[in-house]
A and B are shown apart, each in its own frame.
Chain A
Amino acid sequence: MQRLDRNTLYWMGVTLVVFPILVLLGLLMRAVQAEAATGLQALFYPAMTLHGLGMAGLWFVASLAAANRVLMRYIEPSAAVNRVALLGTLVGVVLLIAATLIGGFAPGWYFLYPLPLHGTWPTWSTIAFLVALAVLGVAWLLWSLDLLRAIAKKYTLRHALAWHYIGGASEPVVPPAIVISTVSLIVCVACLVAAVLVLLGFLGDFVLGAPADALLMKNLTFFFGHVLVNLSLYLAVAVVYDVLPEYAGRPWKTNKIVAISWNCVLVIVLFAYAHHLYMDFVQPVSLHYIGQIASYSSAIPAAVVTIFGALLLVYHSRMRWNLTSLFMYLGLIGWAIGGVGAVIDSTIAVNFKLHNTLWVPAHFHTYMLLGLVPMVLGYFYHACQEAAPQQESAGLHRLLFWLFALGSAGFLLMFYFSGADSVPRRFALYPELIESGSSLALIGLISASVALLGFLIYLWETGRRWVKALAG
């Protein structure tokens, strides 16, 4: 039996409670679009703001918490800093809930400048949002820096980034989780610094009345947001590298290819965000090209190398399929499918047509709902089962897996079909011109409810082990 530290247990608890609430907000949005939630239309944009911000933030901390626990096999991160990050996250979440659901703060989850300062919502909700952004940014930055410090205590930068593998050496052995986490945490510091600059831009306008440059703010906002979501996936992948071999009965080691690919990611991921600005005609075209090239390039080292490695790991192995291995494998598949969607979306000629359609939510929901979420949920179950072992029901696990996977796939397909049918994103209600949006939203709503049912069974399976681990 492997003991689970309290901090990880708390992060799991927060994730498992907040996730279904945010899912319900997503269902509410689809219900409004399907014209099945009469009287709740006014909640659409606050719900969209909280759902988007909440999901991006929640799965970042869930992924980082999972990586934190995995890294504890090799390094000693500070439990106190972890606790501060947890408290900061809780404060930030409460402020965001108050700003959106009580204050009606609704500039969308991109919160693009200067919209948050010019809405119809009360000033206090804007202040609550800005304070939430500051608290979350500081808490997560501290956590990231502490993890880097803990890695630096055991490894040199050269070893942590596996440069010696690139040079042909294989000693000292560095686990892939260390390499991927180091890359992700360095990038994390960069993206949180960008968030600080965005916050300063808002404060300069809000407090001093000195407007910021809208294009600069948009660049920084997407640098922050895009990189945050990317590294959430990378941290979850670090966990998969560490845990999946236990189920395959084979090691998954760092080698030259893994080292080269993740070092490439460290650079490329900093530029890929530019594909969010294709619509900004004032941005020089050269930056658009950089965005497209970086988006294409970032998919190869991270996703292709990892997925190819995972296939080799499983091929002809005596794989033990349970909830963890199924979910982790599903996560890698979802990451691949969502990644293809992302590469298509980052193609300038395609983006020109699809940018403001539901194609975009389709691809990012794919790598979140079928990629990041199952990878982290798979790990949470693994950790809880390790800490508080109970008899596993293969039938129940298969049932919840298929409910979750098929429900999610149906939900996502409706986004893809909508995007292909020109249904615009960010519309609460669809005019007659795009009546297909409502019917596709209804099918999406039903499918997502099936996925939620699967998650509730997961919650039962993992939750009772979590309670036992917490009591122990």
Chain B
Amino acid sequence: MGQGPRRLTGPQDELVPGCRQRPRQLLWALAAVCFLGFAPASAQSPGAVPDITVRLVSGRSATLSELWASRPLLLALFYTRCVGVCSPYLLSLAETVAAQGGAGTAYDLLALSFDPADDAAAVAAYAARFGLDGRAGWNFATANAEDITALAAAIGFWFKPDTARGQFDHPALTVAIRDGRVVRALEGIPVNARAFRETLWELRGNFVPTYAMPGQNTLLSCFEYDAVTGKARPNWGLLLLVMPALVALAACVVIFAFAPRRPDSAPR
């Protein structure tokens, strides 16, 4: 089960939007662009979330768009019969939410069962069993099978029936949605507090400059992103960036200071 956040990027199939014209015209356009700059391109990004209808444990039906209309939404998928990751995942999410705050004011949460066999009563009982009912910003709900399938496909959530055990194979996935689009997805437990803070920062519409490492325990990064302040702090790796210039300067000083000088040497 993976651990890190997954960032959704822009479209890869559009090369340079608005630039496919004749070369001569483009050369003129380029000259203008040198002074004026390009206008931002309007690109249709992926990550649109289908506006399905869910049945809340209160008995009310609501569309997702109604839920994300006032505040961004964190969507968590589970099912009540799960004997695996669901309860530790929801508890970890609840713990992180409680630690970071903002539920019900900066964002809402929707814990949605993806098991068609679950009904409102079962989900309500599940929430109560783990003390998650009545918490500010939290909603528990079910949906019909077709809508769940469409939603899962759109947000990249997979689940596979394990008929021998009557269970589902599935990841622990939290999907952050703003204005009907997936901003970021957090996978795995325990819910990564740092990634969660970054997600909240992004849900507020801020840019989060972090990047995936090629492996764990990466040596000497250039910048450390602080998700609380939203700023990048210089890190030890930056020292390596100035080292070439410092070494060259030192070598130059040593060479010119200690080379035996013969000002009159003029070969040829």
Contacts and interface: CB of A to CB of B under 8 A. Distances in A.
Interface of A: 72-76, 113-114, 145, 148-149, 152-157, 160, 186-187, 189-191, 193-194, 197, 201, 204-205, 210-216, 219-220, 223, 270, 280-284, 344, 347, 349-350, 352-354, 356-357, 416-417, 420-422, 424, 433-434
Q: DSSP majority for the B interface?
A: loop
A142 to B, nearest CB: 12
B216 to A, nearest CB: 8
B260 A353 contact: no
Given A148-B251, A211-B218, A356-B15, 20 more contacts: A149-B255, A153-B259, A153-B261, A154-B262, A157-B252, A160-B256, A186-B249, A190-B245, A197-B240, A210-B219, A211-B214, A212-B218, A216-B221, A216-B237, A280-B211, A281-B207, A282-B211, A283-B209, A350-B37, A434-B15
Given A213-B221, A216-B221, A357-B16, A349 B38 contact: yes
A190 B247 contact: yes
Interface stretch (B23-31, B115-123, B141-149, B154-162): B23-31
Contacts of A194: 244
A88 B266 CA distance: 29
Contacts of B150: none
Q: Is the interface of A mostly helix, strand, loop or mixed?
A: helix
A420 B214 CA distance: 34
18 contacts: A113-B214, A148-B252, A152-B261, A157-B252, A197-B244, A205-B214, A212-B220, A213-B237, A219-B222, A219-B241, A220-B241, A223-B241, A270-B245, A282-B211, A283-B222, A353-B38, A417-B23, A433-B15
B241 A216 contact: yes
B1 interface: no
Contacts of A283: 209, 222
Contact of A76 (B245, B249, B267): B267
A352 to B, nearest CB: 7
Contacts of B213: 211, 213-214
Given A152-B255, A153-B260, A76 B265 contact: yes
B20 interface: yes
Contacts of A213: 213, 218-222, 237
Nearest to B40: A352
Interface string B1-42: 000000000000001100111110011011001101110000
Given A75-B265, A284-B209, A204 B219 contact: yes
Given A76-B265, A189-B248, A190-B247, A152 B241 contact: no
Contacts of A280: 211
A350 B38 contact: yes
Contacts, number: 166
Contact of B222 (A190, A216, A349): A216
B225 to A, nearest CB: 8
A317 to B, nearest CB: 26
Contact of A220 (B219, B240, B265): B240
Contacts of A284: 209, 223, 232
Given A212-B218, A220-B241, A353-B38, A282 B209 contact: yes
A191 B244 contact: yes
Contacts of A356: 15
Contact of A420 (B26, B253, B265): B26
B23 A149 contact: no
Contacts of A281: 207, 209, 211
B245 to A, nearest CB: 5
A284 B253 CA distance: 32
A76, A282, A434 — which one has the most chain B CB atoms within 10 A of its CB? Answer: A282
Interface of B: 15-16, 19-23, 26-27, 29-30, 33-34, 36-38, 207, 209-211, 213-223, 232, 237, 240-241, 243-245, 247-249, 251-253, 255-256, 259-263, 265-268
A215 B211 contact: yes
B267 A75 contact: yes
Given A349-B38, A421-B26, A186 B214 contact: no
A187 B16 CA distance: 36
Contacts of A72: 267-268
B34 to A, nearest CB: 6
B255 A422 contact: no
A95 B234 CA distance: 38
A211 B217 contact: yes
Contacts of B263: 154-155
B22 to A, nearest CB: 8
Given A194-B244, A270-B245, A421 B23 contact: yes
A62 to B, nearest CB: 21
Nearest to B215: A211
A5 to B, nearest CB: 10
Interface centre among B27, B215, B248, B266 (most CB of A within 10 A): B248
B33 to A, nearest CB: 6
A156 B261 contact: yes
Contact of A186 (B22, B33, B221, B252): B252
A156 B262 CA distance: 10
Contacts of B251: 145, 148, 189
A282 B223 contact: yes
Most chain-B Cβ atoms within 10 A of its Cβ — which of A197, A219, A347, A422?
A422
A469 to B, nearest CB: 16
B34 A344 contact: yes
A422 B241 contact: no
A329 to B, nearest CB: 26
Nearest to A427: B15
Contact of A349 (B37, B241, B252): B37
A211 B260 CA distance: 44
Q: Which 3 A-B pairs have the closest CB atoms?
A: A349-B37, A211-B215, A190-B248
Contacts of B249: 186
Contacts of A205: 214-215
B248 A187 contact: yes
A149 B259 contact: yes
Nearest to B13: A433
Interface centre among B23, B26, B220 (most CB of A within 10 A): B23
A215 B238 CA distance: 10
B15 A422 contact: yes
A76 B262 CA distance: 11
A357 B207 CA distance: 26
